[in-house]
Amino acid sequence: MFQFEPKRRALLTAAAATAVLTLAACGKEKKLAIKGSDISGTHLGSEMAMVDQDGKLRTLADYKNKIPVVFFGFTHCPDVCPTALAQLAQAMELLKDDASKVQAIMITVDPARDTPEVIGRYVKAFNPSFTGLSGSPEQLAKTAKSFRAFYAKAPGPNPDEYSMDHSSSFYILDQQGEARILLPGNASAQTIADDIKQLL
């Protein structure tokens, strides 16, 4: 597997965060006492439409009354994605009973290899309540654009051996499906849990 320099990953994350924050608008939502970036009013992710492990098309409307936490990644990711999912799984444990009000969602940026079944099995290894979403290249492109998420194929020595560059952030939405908080993908479990509690 190909590993990307921490500096390069940090630049990708910072670029994504900067792009998101430039879109922020003044909303009517309450001011959040958070450690992440307040992205209220951006409506990020509103056009999400991807397929779950059961073959059902999922949009944010399917997660109404829950706090969706969305992360973009892929199953062949050597370090960033499994670390982020492990932190998210630990955050769910810290939330205790409130974890049932949260829906963690990983959207693959590698649908060619990550079928709905593959991504579904992968995320559930971290926590049985996690959901994995895949879909067609067109569905991914539209969904990623809606979140202002970056991804691109990084060629390898042959067509089957490639990796994916992608932005690494947690998008935390409220129970009405509005984007509210952006956290870096390397946020600690405690930080993730604390910011989620602001929306409960």
Q: Which residues contact 88 (CB under 8 A, 6 or more apart)?
A: 69, 71, 104, 126, 127, 130, 170, 189, 192
Rounded CA-CA distance 111/136 in Å is: 7
pLDDT for 30 equals 62
Rounded CA-CA distance 180/169 in Å is: 13
Q: Contact 84/186 with Cβ under 8 angstroms?
A: yes
> Which of 10, 140, 156 has the alpha carbon at shortest distance from 80?
10
Rounded CA-CA distance 192/17 in Å is: 16
Rounded CA-CA distance 135/34 in Å is: 32
The pTM is what? 0.84
Residue 77 marked as a ligand binder: yes
Helix, strand, or coil here: 125? coil
Residue 43 marked as a ligand binder: no
Rounded CA-CA distance 179/147 in Å is: 9
Rounded CA-CA distance 94/20 in Å is: 28
pLDDT for 151 equals 96
The H or E element containing residue 163 is strand 161-166
Residue 166 marked as a ligand binder: yes
Q: Which two tokens stand for residue 62?
A: 């399917």
Q: What are the helix (H) ranges across 43-151?
A: 80-95, 116-124, 137-147
In tens digits, what is the pLDDT along the chain, a chain of 200 residues?
A: 434 444 445 445 544 554 444 444 444 556 778 999 999 999 999 999 999 999 999 999 999 999 999 999 999 999 999 999 999 999 999 999 999 999 999 999 999 999 999 999 999 999 999 999 999 999 999 999 999 999 999 988 888 889 999 999 999 999 999 999 999 999 999 999 999 999 99
Please state which architecture CATH assigns to domain 6-25+34-197: 3-Layer(aba) Sandwich (3.40)
pLDDT for 12 equals 52
Q: How many residues appear in the chain?
A: 200
pLDDT for 160 equals 81
Please report, for the chain, the start and end positions of each structural domain, with discontinuous segments joined by +.
6-25+34-197
Q: What is the pLDDT of residues 92-141, one digit of tens each?
A: 999 999 999 999 999 999 999 999 999 999 999 999 999 999 999 999 99
pLDDT for 31 equals 75
